[in-house]
A and B are shown apart, each in its own frame.
Chain A
């Protein structure tokens, strides 16, 4: 199967501080890959390198078959990205956000219209499509942000804590959207602090102090550590990292 992401000894140093220390892993096309770690473990730095925003200090990586050193601009066009902090323009309407991002990703006018309409209907947001995003509940914003990040059918979508603070039902609806995207062949690279969500991933990796200390399916990790949940695995592995 084609690899959506490959990383080999990928490293980023800031002065003498090694934020990401020689991480090696790959992600299959259409896989849901969970990227876990404590605050400050180096997750954001790794995501920045993979999304073409930060040049690695050493090591190799490809995203959608493109080299992160040579083709960062092409990578940006082939991926989608959303975070909890910033994803949409609050003072633009639902439909304006969709058109704006569709335009940025180079979709044609009729594609934006068609896919935008489809998204709005799938999200159940037809009635609020002309409302400003600021007026929507957080859960709706996050679902809309995900739809916007996948509008251009990217090969990989990066989700940085997409469900932080979201209510438990919307959190689950969000994961159903993730599965749907994966079924359509989109690779999902997701970080979360909800350990139950880690169980929904095909594979998860755990970062501790810049090093990837585990990378396998949730079942295998639970068996290895002889525990019944990923939360216990995480606490066993990541304890005492700060």
Chain B
């Protein structure tokens, strides 16, 4: 059953149209991978889903709520749609635990004790139980990104959106982040992932969506997209990435 449905989604920045009518649905427990050249609108699509960017047209429906409706309580929607960013975006003035518990305390109104307990278990879930008191600048990129994942997961979201989660990492640190994503997958978390990690897509994705120039060119199983794509643009892109 689809938990997320996007239809006719468009986004323009001034005169340039970045999303030119996107239709996409993601099922519960599904891992959907979005690939495509830079500038194809992948990140913008993710950001429009929680209205970090305001879509110009089209609708987004998530868990029965029309996200794009003017009256929608975005706070409510956003805490059930976790978001992980390319550049981690951890709060530099707070410890790992502080990063994870801020929204627990301010949005979910947990007491400090409850929030700390939930935060510590979220950090343990990404293998960083011993880093709760560390500040972001004391952590490696991979550790920072795992804290950012814990920050999203602590709110118990129904889906997690990953915006190039490993692109800013040194190659040797990528594995730890992908490991956490694999665990999430095994636990049945619904995930929408923008990434260039093709091998991970092959192993873990249920579906791969190829975007180019603001449109979805082609979607299918990893098998189809990587081995026998229909469109020449897909073929060219996959060939280039696999080189």
Do A and B come from the same complex? no
> Residues on A close to B: CB < 8 A?
none
Chain B interface residues toward A at CB < 8 A: none
